[in-house]
Amino acid sequence: MLAVTSCLLAATAQARDTVLVLGDSISAAYGMQLEQGWVSLLDARLQKEQPTYRVINASISGETSGGGLRRLPDLLSEHAPKVVIIELGGNDGLRGYPVKQLRDNLKQLIRLSEEAAARVLLLPMEIPPNFGKFYTDAFRASFTEATENSTAILAEFPLASVALETTLMQTDGIHPTAEAQPIILESVWKTLESML
């Protein structure tokens, strides 16, 4: 009987649907323990509220949209996710990469995910105004433009409630603290919940 139960549990675990998070340091828990990050908190919430899902965190600190695009096909093939959360673009902006390149990469990320039968949630990023208003505005608009002609859903900026709170940001002023992670999760969850 124990062996049968173990087999059933193993089959259930294998059958769980996957939420794939493709991001940069914001999703890779930069400056803290991995389990403190919003993606790990999301996994814990899903275990309680949507136990048919599991989370695969494929985020890498310093990742760009181009880097994510190179890695995504293998990730889609390996994990066959039901939902792909894309949190990329911040490093493109900080490095002053062309906005058209970012927009095209985001469109490709969405297209590949949708072709793999995954629903897409795009988390928009914001950047400091170092490169001037024209670049900053174009950068912001690229996330909306990337979702056009797709079924991808654009979430709100996940750091909207923490980015200007010095107590919730690390000393570099770019990365949120561990205390900010539950707030980020709530921001993402508002849109994600209806997709599950």
Among 25, 40, 59, 65, the active-site one is: 25
**79 is an active site residue:** no
Among 24, 27, 40, 175, the active-site one is: 175
**137 is an active site residue:** no
Burial classification of residue 11, based on how many CB atoms lie within 10 Å of its CB (0-12 exposed, 13-18 middle, 19 or more buried): exposed
Cα-flanking dihedrals φ and ψ of residue 110, to 5°? Answer: -65, -45
H/E stretch holding 66 reads helix 65-79
Burial classification of residue 95, based on how many CB atoms lie within 10 Å of its CB (0-12 exposed, 13-18 middle, 19 or more buried): exposed
Evaluate the CA torsion angle 61, 143, 112, 188 in order and state its sign: positive
Place of tokens 């950047």: 127
**172 is an active site residue:** yes
C-alpha 186/C-alpha 192 separation (Å) is 10
Q: Mark 130-150 as b/e (b = at least 16 C-beta within 10 Å).
A: eeeeebbebbbebbebbbeee
Catalytic residue positions, numbered: 25, 172, 175
